[in-house]
Amino acid sequence: MERRAIGAAALGVGAIGLGCMPMSWAYSMSEQSGEESLRTVHAALDRGMTLLDTADMYGPFTNELLIGRVLKERRHDAFLSTKCGLLVGEQHIVANGRPGYVKRACDASLRRLQTDFIDLYQLHRADPEVPVEETWGAMSELVTEGKVRALGFCAVGARADQRGRADQRGRSAGSGIHAATIRQLERVQSVFPVSGVQAELAVWSREALDSLLPWCVSHGVGFMAAMPLGNGYLSGTLTPGGGFEEEDVRARHPRFTAEMMAANQPVVAGLRRVAERHGEATPAQVALAWLLAQGQQVVPLPGAKKERWAVENAAAADLRLTPADLGELDALPVAQGSWE
């Protein structure tokens, strides 16, 4: 697989990574299988999807334990990205950016992951009660100590409102969120180099193209595209009105009501049209290939919990879209219905 660099640290990764969260958190709990997940991670690594993206909050903790079982055997085949800064309670998820906590969280992640170092340690969310420079300073000390190789920053995605107000480029009222993220990035950049930024970017959610991705390009920072398949919707495998399991995060969000899923079918139809021009390509592969075409800084992180999905996603790295394909995809409507 083509290799791309993660920002300031110039660390090489496969052009498409593996989002590990669905293996133990948020989606279709009845379909989760530890053994199937292990096969999925091994299949991804075998095909060059070296970036494994996890977090301590996924589970919580169980996702890191799962990935640790693979890393124990194949640490040198993987680029490990995990996160800190969010705590999962019975009712709420809260941020914790206190320096002492960050350091304890890193040590706990290292134990669960069965490794001596983390390639990219990301701040999952900035704590509004702690100056972000203090949190980032503690994270930078982990680099000095050799526990971490590089630092990344997760951005809260900007989204269209529930009625889907947005123009054809995907701009929305939420674009101000990215402006706030950039201000935070400028602050932490003055403390220690940012190597990677993770934020939502997909063919139906393109706000990051306006300011956040350009910021990454101008600063030599890698951009990891979260939710590149629209939480599964852009794969074309979800049926409007089909419903979700009670604990599935999509069951509680307006973008995944039967009405909104039906309203967004033109996006999937557009992906299918392009896929049909490329033989056996799938809508998901077209969506990932569109992301790869947005620039060398971009590394999509499609989530997968089944081996066949990881294999399908990896093959997207070989799909070459034409200028006509890209023009057609750029003209697709943005998502209707908010995620948050």
Cα separation, 37 vs 162, in Å, equals 34
Tokens for 276, please give them.
């049909």
Nearest to 238 by CA among 225, 256, 253, 226: 256
Radius of gyration of the chain (CA): 19
Rounded to 5°, angle at Cα 59 from 146 and 198:
55
Q: Which residues contact 75 (CB under 8 A, 6 or more apart)?
A: 115
Cα separation, 224 vs 40, in Å, equals 20
CA distances from 335 to 23, 110, 279 (A): 25, 38, 27
Cα separation, 31 vs 332, in Å, equals 32
Tokens for 80, please give them.
């490990």
Residues annotated as catalytic are: 58
Instruction: Compute how many other C-beta atoms are within 10 angstroms of the C-beta atom of residue 211.
Output: 17
